[in-house]
């Protein structure tokens, strides 16, 4: 048989697998629904819920001065909106007990000689803080240097040492950073889950026993299974970015072609990861467990929630292995900073390399033998 | 489906075939010759190595030892090329439940790279041969056992295979469907297709041109059903007696009695060929049988099976097998 003929037959078999896969996907109503609902619900959930600006921390006030100045300071703190005053106590030990019970996160102690302290330019009061949540502790710490100009009528603050110009997200809205990152997280989840289940399901249902007695080659089976999910991935990306733009006002500064290219690279890498899992897992449950094993570090280490640079070196190395880390950089560069793939060529090349090696590993691992 | 002059007239030729899974010997030193155009049966209980043998013959499992030639091709080396020329029907239904009958056929046709025209012609032909026209648009998962089995057979015939492997094809269907199924196998055989089929039904085994009785990874006997019955090496005596349970448990203690099985109000006793007058001998060892009705009947395949596998002889499992049946022809 000539090479062209063989290639043509190969394409036919890939097409057969793809057609079958799409048919099965369309008939599985719940899975088909999840393709749309996962990005939709999660976008709304994360877009609204994840907020790194700390607000409304529940606190208590222990005002032992019982003075006009004390009431002024409490009002000034309320105005910052960082805290919400839940209760008042008369002694510090009562406040500490409330912190222990978890009713409040912090308590402000204003001593009896408050007015005197102000006159002597001493530190006025003390915050008792539940420091276990570092984000909340950090927010309260910011109150240390709260200006009191309005109360005292005098300028207490020196001019700032630096001026800060905020590019790309001047209003400091979390959603701007979260929504593009969400594409990476959701695509990791659905792409790996769908493909990892794809081959294991055939094994569980006994379809594979028949397939391996046909002339189909492992690589054809792998490619045929991947194609439908590439489309699924692109649909999900469109939903997240489109709705993110409409609902959360996330700008799309980059070129659509660049966006597509970056996303395709990531989809391909995630799908091959799923295929590798599917050649290892013996059941759909195992495939699911392995997928979760990958999703958790993707959410926590890829830079989706916490800055990559702030992590210790070993965590950064682990994160570098994950395709999502590289895609997180690409998608944020393209969507938020109007960058191009060529600006991010290391990350793009890494995704390409991951895909190629992944496909080879998966094809080698998928043996048409039973032993 | 021409028989190539250069290759032998054997569809399958396996020598010294052995497969170990760890310390378990699933198949031991199997010699197998299946003539082209024949229906050849593997008869044996579950776990006797039938499926393992089929998987080695189709190149799905690599033998621990031995050589295999299927349709003149060396297996497992040429397994990929062989796949275009064989059909395989798995023990468990292995088509897609969420595709329709027609879609399943189309899928397999595409996998075998049939042209759209060929595929269309072949599928409509198979749908009518296997009486699935009415079910063409039905999901395969909703078919009855018999329909699923016909669909499986239809799918494994899409590429006009020269050799069909059927792994317990009738385990999930009723007797009427089994009879119809065998009619279809004979039609295929008539048109030149060689068939290797595994079964644990005696009546099916009796229909095969050739037969191998397997037990614990060994072929205990092989040949045509008639040959096997002729060479069985035991007389079959049916005994009528009021207390059959008691009689049976006492009879099988004799080394010359190969088996005793109750059939309703009669006991079917297999007596070793060494005894020239089995009825007289029985009455001699069990005087209470003098009054009873004894009748010598021709052997059936079940008798052969029992004789060569030593079923019913748990107390005597390790006795040497009769060499003339296990090495016949």
What digits encode the pLDDT tens for the residues A271-295? 999 989 988 888 889 999 999 998 8
8 Å CB contact between B18 and B64: yes
Q: Render B123-185 in DSSP notation, one character per residue.
A: HHHHHHHTT-TTTTTSBGGGS-HHHHHHHHHHHHTTT--SEEEESSTTTTS-HHHHHHHHHHH
pTM of this prediction? 0.79
Nearest CB among B59, B83, B93 relative to A214 is that of B83
pLDDT at B274: 86
Sketch the domain layout of chain A as residue ranges: 13-50+175-365, 57-152
DSSP 3-state of A14:
helix
Interface with A, mutate which of B21, B84, B110, B152 (most A CBs under 10 A): B110
CA–CA separation, B194 vs B37, rounded Å? 4
Q: From chain A, pick out residues whose CB is under 8 angstroms from the CB of B123.
A: none
Partner-chain contact A213 B97, CB within 8 Å: no
Return the CATH fold of B10-228.
Answer: Rossmann fold (3.40.50)
Partner-chain contact A215 B80, CB within 8 Å: yes
pLDDT at B315: 39
Tens-binned pLDDT, residue by residue, of chain B (329 aa): 444 444 458 999 999 999 999 888 899 999 999 999 999 999 988 888 888 999 999 988 999 999 999 999 998 889 889 999 999 998 888 999 999 999 999 999 999 999 999 999 999 999 999 999 999 999 999 999 889 999 999 999 999 999 999 998 888 788 888 889 999 999 999 999 999 999 888 888 889 999 999 988 888 889 998 898 888 888 899 988 888 888 888 888 888 888 888 888 888 998 888 888 888 888 888 888 888 888 888 888 888 888 888 654 443 434 444 333 333 33
pLDDT at A140: 87
Round the average pLDDT of chain A to a whole number and report it: 87
Partner-chain contact A206 B83, CB within 8 Å: no
CATH number (3.50.50.60, 3.30.70.100, 3.60.10.10, 3.30.450.30) of B233-298 reads 3.30.70.100
CA neighbor of A351 nearest in space, from A261, A240, A265 = A265
pLDDT at A316: 92
pLDDT bucket at A152, cuts 50 / 70 / 90: low
pLDDT at B154: 94
DSSP 3-state of A251:
coil
Instruction: Write the CATH number of the domain with boundaries A57-152.
Output: 3.40.1710.10
Chain B residues contacting A, CB < 8 Å? 55, 58-62, 76, 79-80, 83-84, 86, 88, 90, 92-99, 103, 107-108, 110-113, 155
DSSP 3-state of B298:
coil
CA–CA separation, A222 vs A203, rounded Å? 14
pLDDT at B320: 40
Instruction: Say which residue the tokens 């006797």 belong to.
Output: B48
Q: From chain B, pick out residues whose CB is under 8 angstroms from the CB of A225.
A: none
Partner-chain contact A13 B80, CB within 8 Å: no
pLDDT digits (tens, 9 = 90+) for A36-83: 898 999 888 888 877 777 788 999 999 998 888 888 888 888 888 888
Sketch the domain layout of chain B as residue ranges: 10-228, 233-298
CA neighbor of A351 nearest in space, from A235, A260, A270 = A270
CB-CB neighbours of A91 under 10 Å: 11
Residue of A nearest to B97 (CA): A205
| Strand pairing report for B65-70 and B10-21 | antiparallel
Partner-chain contact A209 B83, CB within 8 Å: no
Residue of A nearest to B152 (CA): A210
Residue A59, both tokens = 């606190």
């Amino acid at each position: 048989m000539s090479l062209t003929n063989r290639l043509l037959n190969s394409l036919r078999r890939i097409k057969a697998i793809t057609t079958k896969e799409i048919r099965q996907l369309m008939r599985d109503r719940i899975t088909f629904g999840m393709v749309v609902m996962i990005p939709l619900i999660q976008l709304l959930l994360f877009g609204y819920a994840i907020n790194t600006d700390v607000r409304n921390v529940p606190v208590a006030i222990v005002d032992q001065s019982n003075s006009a100045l004390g009431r002024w300071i409490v009002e000034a703190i309320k105005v910052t909106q960082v805290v919400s005053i839940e209760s008042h106590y008369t002694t510090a030990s009562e406040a500490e007990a409330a912190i222990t019970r978890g009713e409040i996160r912090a308590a402000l102690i204003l001593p009896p000689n408050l007015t005197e302290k102000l006159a002597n330019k001493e530190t006025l009061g003390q915050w008792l803080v539940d420091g276990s949540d570092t984000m909340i502790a950090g927010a309260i710490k910011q109150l240390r240097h709260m200006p009191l100009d309005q109360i005292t009528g005098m300028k207490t603050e020196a001019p700032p040492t630096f001026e800060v110009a905020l590019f790309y997200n001047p209003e400091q809205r979390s959603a701007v950073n979260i929504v593009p990152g969400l594409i990476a997280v959701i695509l990791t989840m659905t792409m790996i889950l769908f493909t990892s289940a794809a081959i294991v399901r055939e094994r569980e249902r006994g379809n594979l026993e028949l397939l391996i007695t046909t002339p189909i080659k492992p690589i054809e089976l792998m490619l045929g299974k991947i194609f439908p999910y590439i489309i699924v991935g692109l649909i999900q990306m469109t939903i997240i970015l489109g709705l993110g733009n409409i609902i959360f006002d996330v700008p799309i500064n980059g070129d659509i072609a660049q966006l597509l290219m970056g996303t395709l690279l990531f989809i391909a890498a995630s799908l091959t990861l799923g295929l590798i899992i599917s050649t290892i897992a013996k059941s759909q449950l195992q495939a699911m467990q392995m997928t979760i094993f990958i999703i958790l570090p993707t959410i926590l280490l890829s830079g989706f929630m916490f800055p990559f640079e702030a992590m210790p070196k070993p965590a950064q190395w682990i994160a570098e292995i994950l395709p999502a880390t590289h895609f997180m950089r690409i998608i944020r560069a393209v969507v938020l900073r109007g960058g191009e793939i060529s600006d991010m060529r290391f990350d793009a090349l890494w995704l390409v390399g991951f895909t190629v090696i992944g496909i080879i590993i998966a094809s080698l691992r998928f043996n048409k033998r039973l032993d | 489906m021409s028989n190539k002059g250069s290759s032998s007239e054997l569809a399958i030729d396996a020598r010294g075939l052995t497969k170990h899974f760890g310390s378990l010997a699933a198949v031991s030193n199997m010699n197998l010759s299946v003539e082209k155009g024949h229906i050849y049966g593997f008869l044996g209980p579950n776990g006797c190595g039938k499926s393992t043998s089929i998987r080695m013959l189709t190149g799905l499992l690599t033998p621990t030892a031995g050589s295999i030639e299927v349709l003149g091709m060396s297996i497992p080396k040429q397994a990929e090329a062989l796949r275009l020329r064989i059909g395989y029907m798995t023990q468990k239904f292995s088509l897609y439940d969420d595709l329709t009958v027609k879609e399943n056929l189309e899928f397999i046709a595409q996998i075998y790279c049939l042209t759209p025209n060929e595929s269309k012609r072949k599928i409509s032909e198979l749908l009518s041969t296997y009486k699935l026209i009415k079910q063409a648009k039905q999901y395969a998962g909703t078919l009855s056992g018999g329909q699923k089995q016909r669909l499986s057979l239809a799918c494994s015939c899409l590429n006009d295979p020269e050799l069909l492997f059927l792994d317990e094809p009738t385990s999930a269907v009723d007797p009427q469907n089994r009879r119809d199924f065998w009619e279809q196998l004979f039609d295929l055989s008539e048109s030149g297709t060689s068939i290797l089929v595994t079964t644990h039904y005696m009546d099916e085994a009796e229909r095969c041109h050739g037969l191998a009785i397997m037990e614990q990874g060994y072929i205990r006997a092989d040949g045509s059903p008639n040959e096997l019955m002729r060479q069985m090496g035991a007389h079959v005596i049916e005994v009528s007696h009021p207390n059959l349970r008691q009689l049976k448990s006492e009879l099988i203690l004799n080394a010359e009695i190969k088996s005793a099985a109750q059939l309703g109000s009669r006991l079917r006793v297999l007596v070793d060929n060494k005894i020239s007058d089995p009825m007289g001998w029985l009455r001699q060892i069990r005087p209470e049988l003098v009054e009873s009705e004894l009748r010598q009947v021709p052997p059936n395949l079940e008798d052969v099976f029992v004789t060569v596998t030593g079923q019913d002889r748990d107390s005597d499992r390790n006795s040497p097998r009769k060499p003339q049946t296990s090495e016949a022809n």
